[in-house]
Amino acid sequence: MNTLLEHIIVEPDSPAEACVIWFHGLGADGNDFAPIVPQLALPKTLPVRFIFPHAPVIPVSINGGYPMPAWFDITSLTPELEIDEKGLGAAITAAHDLIRAQINKGIPPNRIVLAGFSQGGAMALSAALAYPDILAGVIALSTFILPAQLANISAHRLPIYMAHGIMDDVIPMALGEQTRQLLNQQGFEVCWDVYSMGHEVCKNEIESISTWLQGHLVAVQTV
């Protein structure tokens, strides 16, 4: 039996009918985005369970080899992107285990959204695109995808919400734009928002995420 990543669970007031699995950025942990749940102000008629996993602590090359919570090692964030693809593969497997755990709890895959910020957004995109069953969608914030990950995507074309800050000096917006273009070329429906901010999440972005979640989860529910 696979051991699940340690994680924080935020349950809705009534039994969950959907789930969002949210991956944090480099150097953070699952506590980083747990406070976003009340800010999303989802209606009580849409009871959503939120899962916030903790990444393992590993040496990260881009930070001088210093050990920190990370989903995979990164060597360079140039447009060519240099990362540990084997490490990303292991992280994707761990993400899929979390998805299957929610399915075993009664949440169907088309009621599960993967979300993430920065390196966690790369995790969310890569894991969702490789998952064999169609998920409800992906929320990818201030992030990127390794072009090689598009070589082994599933046949499903799930909806994707992406957002980026025009003043982002950690993940340049050019990488976000590159990712959006790659996904569009593969036939994905990408909702793209740009905000006047740095490497962060702003109030207007949270409101857009809430609207996107409500629209896609309700749409899936009524199919």
Give the active site residues. Answer: 118, 168, 199
| Tokens 């995790």 sit on residue | 123
CA–CA separation, 123 vs 100, rounded Å? 16
Q: Residues of 139-160 as b/e, b for ≥16 C-beta within 10 angstroms?
A: bbbbbbbbeebbeebeeeebbb
CB 159 within 8 A of CB 191: yes
Q: How far is CA 15 from CA 18, 86, 118, 216, in A?
A: 9, 37, 30, 19
Q: Is the dihedral of CA 70, 75, 80, 86 positive or negative?
A: negative
> Is the CB of residue 122 less than 8 Å from the CB of residue 143?
yes
C-alpha 134/C-alpha 118 separation (Å) is 23
Number of helices (H) and strands (E), helices first, in the chain? Answer: 5, 11
Q: What is the CA radius of gyration of the chain?
A: 16
Which of 16, 187, 222 minimizes the C-alpha distance to 113? 16
